[in-house]
Amino acid sequence: MTANPIQIRRRTPLPVMAYAVYLHFSGPSLRRAARALRLIVSRSHASMWRWAQRLGPILGSIGADPREVRRIFIDETMVDLGGTPAWIWVAFEPDLHAMLDFHVSWRGNSIDAYLFIRRLVRRYGRVPIHTDGAGWYADACRWAGAEHIVYDRPLRNLMERMVQCAKDGTEAFDDLFPARKSRLASGRAFERVHNWLSAFTSMQDFVFEDGDLGRPPLMWEEGGDAAVAGRAAPYFLTRVGGELKVTEPSKTPKSRRHVA
Please tell me the predicted confidence (pLDDT) of residue 206. 58
Full pLDDT tens readout for the chain, 260 residues = 444 444 345 577 788 888 888 888 777 788 888 888 888 888 888 888 888 888 877 776 666 788 889 999 999 988 887 778 889 998 988 888 788 888 888 888 899 999 999 999 999 999 999 998 888 899 999 999 999 999 887 777 878 887 888 888 788 777 777 666 555 555 566 778 888 888 887 777 655 444 444 444 444 333 344 444 433 344 445 555 555 555 554 444 444 444 44
Work out the number of other CB atoms within 10 angstroms of the CB of residue 206: 21
Domain ranges, ordered by start, for the chain:
11-60+213-259, 65-178
* DSSP helix/strand/coil, 70: coil
Which CATH fold topology does 65-178 show?
Nucleotidyltransferase; domain 5 (3.30.420)
